[in-house]
Amino acid sequence: MQPIPDVNQRIARISSHLHPPKPQMEESSALRRANCRGKGGAPGFKVAILGAAGGIGQPLAMLMKMNPLVSILHLYDVVNAPGVTADISHMDTGAVVRGFLGQQQLEAALTGMDLVIIPAGVPRKPGMTRDDLFKINAGIVRTLCEGIAKSCPRAIVNLISNPVNSTVPIAAEVFKKAGTYDPNRLLGVTMLDVVRANTFVAEVLGLDPRDVDVPVVGGHAGVTILPLLSQVKPPSSFTQEETIYLTDRIQNGGTEVVEAKAGAGSATLSMAYAAVKFADACLRGLRGDAGVVECAFVASQVTELPFFASKVRLGRNGMEEVYGLGALNEYERIGLEKAKKELVGSIEKGVTFIRS
């Protein structure tokens, strides 16, 4: 005969139906992870997203949950991390998802991570430059990088927060101060410029964008975004009119989206796609795949500037080789001078923010 549960047990059972266990945020679930038979031990890399509840963070988290190279996915934000974590964690893909809310959980979010992707920070509104975001985002990036230096100093960092031309130097200075700086592990994400360039060039040439590869060098703001149309694959030639149109559209792709969103933010979905494309390349490099090459804003000796976006080869140690610029045509040489002129100030601004 079944024992009759006492009233308190019955109330507890009814209440647990009405108020199902909260999504896993640390130890909040009624059936704790330790009691589950599956330990989520699939082989793969541990990845954290900082700013995971934002416009980029959410689709980025979804796409990383779908990436078979990821075994553990940590979602950190200062707001709404529990909701996003609950939602994403129901996807029946391999990665185990854990959520972390607020500064006091930053250390737990970062400990043991192989790759940290940072889309935390405010986006532009129409009329603003990326540099207008410096005031708020510089401090956010500093805090998060201090956390990385403390909790996962060997992690590869993919920095998305704008202005990338200044936030990457900020991150480098924070890591230097902490004694953990490895230039090969700090990569500013400029992949969206490449994704846009491939799309716009394919449109002009009448090709499938998946068959087009446009190197984009320099930085990630206005004239610092320098597409090398003379090096497009498959080899292609452009009229002067096409070159001017394409260069302008690639350099102002971000503004095109900011204006279309009319105050509701900047590129999020195409950025999440680009971020995952780049993160996947980093993970394939970490796995030891040969010939993984993408563009990124990195510490560099390709020009006289300390940072510059170039094609880089990714490997077990992050960036393993930075490629030179190759032969440039006259139009690109003029563009390069303009890009360097603006980059000097943006890099210096980031360095000074930490040193002063």
Ligand X SMILES: O=C(O)C[C@H](O)C(=O)O
Ligand Y SMILES: NC(=O)c1ccc[n+]([C@@H]2O[C@H](COP(=O)([O-])OP(=O)(O)OC[C@H]3O[C@@H](n4cnc5c(N)ncnc54)[C@H](O)[C@@H]3O)[C@@H](O)[C@H]2O)c1
Task: Say which entry of ligand Y, ligand X, none residue 268 contacts (CB below 5 to 8 A, set by partner kind).
Answer: ligand Y
Residue 205 tokens read as 């040439």
- The answer to the question of whether 54 is labelled as a binding residue is yes
162 is in an annotated binding site: yes
The correct pick among 55, 82, 218, 227 for binding ligand Y (CB under 6 A) is 55
Q: Which does 44 bind (CB under 5 to 8 A by kind): ligand Y, ligand X, none?
A: none
Compute CA distances 338 → 2, 224, 242, 300, 308, whole Å: 81, 7, 20, 18, 13
**Residue selected from 105, 137, 166, 230 as contacting ligand Y according to rule CB under 6 A:** 137
Contact 93, 69 (CB under 8 A): no
DSSP assignment letter at 306: S
Site string for ligand Y, 209-248 (x = CB under 6 A): -----------x----------------------------
Q: Is there a contact between 140 and 161 (Cβ–Cβ < 8 Å)?
A: yes
Q: Please tell me whether 124 is known to bind a ligand.
A: yes
Helices (H), the chain: 7-18, 57-65, 81-89, 106-110, 134-151, 164-178, 191-205, 240-251, 253-261, 269-287, 330-355
Contact 178, 146 (CB under 8 A): yes
Catalytic residue among 17, 19, 74, 220: 220
Binding characters for ligand Y, 66-105, by CB under 6 A (x = yes)? -----------xxx--------------------------
Residue nearest ligand Y, CB atom distance:
54
Is residue 220 flagged as an active site residue? Answer: yes
- Name the 3-class secondary structure at 16: helix
57 is known to lie in a ligand binding site: yes
199 binds ligand Y (CB under 6 A): no
Contact status, residue 225 vs residue 250, Cβ threshold 8 Å: yes
Q: Which of 242, 218, 220 is nearest to 230 (CA)?
A: 242
Of residues 47, 48, 49, 56, which one binds ligand Y by CB under 6 A? 56
For residue 229, the partner it binds in ligand Y, ligand X, none, with Cβ less than 5 to 8 A by kind, is: none
Q: Residues 286, 162, 268, 247: is their CA dihedral positive or negative? A: negative
- Ligand-binding site membership of 252 (annotated): no
What does 258 interact with, of ligand Y, ligand X, none (CB < 5 to 8 A by kind)?
ligand X
Q: Can you tell me which residue has the tokens 């000097």?
A: 344
Q: With CB cut-offs between 5 and 8 Å by kind, which of ligand Y, ligand X, none does residue 340 bind?
A: none
Q: How far is the CB of 266 from ligand X (least distance, A)?
A: 4
Pair 62, 90: CB distance under 8 Å? no
Binding site: which residues? 51-57, 77, 124, 130, 137, 160-162, 196, 271
Positions that interact with ligand Y (CB under 6 A): 50-51, 53-57, 77-79, 119-124, 133, 137, 140, 143-144, 160-162, 164, 189, 192, 220, 265-268, 271
Q: Which residues are annotated as a binding site for substrate?
A: 124, 130, 162, 196
